[in-house]
Chains A and B, each alone.
Chain A
């Protein structure tokens, strides 16, 4: 059984349809890339899944259960935003990881335990008491992911996780994605930068003008990505499409 099943998801603003009958399903533990040109509806898809926007129609199921209410989608999905400066709120790394857990009104000792686990998992020990303002781009991104993962969502959504990062920071984030995959975490990534992470992903979904135009195993989607004006280096081999090497 699929972990996530989306059926006929549609969303419009002021009569303009931004998502049109999106249907797909994903297995547990998969890493999926959502690609497409600007304005194709990628970020809006993440917002609808997360519950930040209410779709006009469609069914979202996680583990076979239909998520009708916004609260259910908020709990099932974790969303890592593109702009970390607007997402990180804690005065220290530890406090930021604990922020979401405090919102869930967990007991203090459970918050402490989960925060310690995230600090250890993402190797944040040396910087855990530092203010987020002094962190590098890659460290901030890892902190954002840690803060979301601490809340134990079923699926993690990431909006342009590699945007505005230098090469070392990109490698740091890609290593984190590999780590998440090894832990069996289901991740959906929206990114323009297919050439940096395609070979790490299991599946690729291509959106165009709000429609899902193609979907398949990532290794079979190179031609479709190029046809939909998503950049891939010419003559590139699938295994080379990662900056982690």
Chain B
């Protein structure tokens, strides 16, 4: 079969020089090619260059052939219009921001239909919108909903419907599921696959996650610092990686790599718990978010709290930390009852490391100022800034930098350093590694494990990602709809889940790594 989309000599240069080195790529109809790389590897710029949406200051070279049409990638914006959104569509990572918040979903799908068909009669137009929604398995009434009224998974479906309204021959999906929960991720990827088969559309799937791509793409390109370092069929690359970078990626992936080493630490059990939250309940207005939740952690142990977004896991953490006031229940810390709110708590009891390292550091302060302030809360001198940066594996010179100069992983290390500065006995990690690339994720997890052992920290580790939790936690609590549905040691819960929801989560995580391998086998030879 001949390639129907060909990219030749794609090269992107930015203000600081070359960011993507010359790259060739062809896609056959209905084929999925995955482009893997960490943030900063140039994968998103590659995607944007194929649709003429490079940010100002960046220039692409090379050609792009679609069917019998050849376009130069550096053509002016106007020349892109007949192609963009018609032959090629782009699906973005974040369904929370890629849809307009003030327009109904149906309207947004309608725009792409208008762009292709011209203005259709009203009834015909709504019929087509309903058709598109049906295609992504959404009910027709979703057309009348505003984006904020839909869940993340539903929003991404709307975005897919809008992207596909023009029947493109190539869909570029840039991290289409990174912002979604595990079970939603699998559904969206399966949906994309089905739509792709039905339309013989090519898919360029961009992701940082090798595990996600396994079984869902025929071929893989691995990108590192703007260069394709490895390419081949997905099975080959995953089973026999040639380039050291690919090997590092596979080893760092919590789902693909080995589970964390067994530790001799007695989890829970005989020792007095450092933190015990008993019967915590919380409502937001009429909506109960936590209902009789009890958890406990001992010093030197890690409790994983697993659940999807909306399950109440962050609210639980915030009640424990005093950032939210529980309606009922008791939080005990080292035997003392802490009343609701921050007033009863001191910085040296517990600290939180938040999810998003981009917004958890004050952008106007230097790293040094941020850490000095945290040290001062317990009377530690400013001279310890260097030492505390060293503790999280950063050089002392970082003190004079501002957050904007740091990568995501470095920022998260600074956030951990700030959390450790008051010498807390309990560290709450609220999705602390979810926003990080896999290899950085592995480093941060290792760091947390080391700190737990060296400082005897108790860690409350909150995540939606079972694979990550398995790597660090001793005991696991599964939250579902504000209630504890399963509790036990990590092995118990993951090897023999008792509750139906836990089984679903475990299965979703497992499908991610081994999953649709069978389909690759059947589709592999066109």
Partners in one complex: no
A residues sitting closer than 8 Å to B (CB atoms) are none
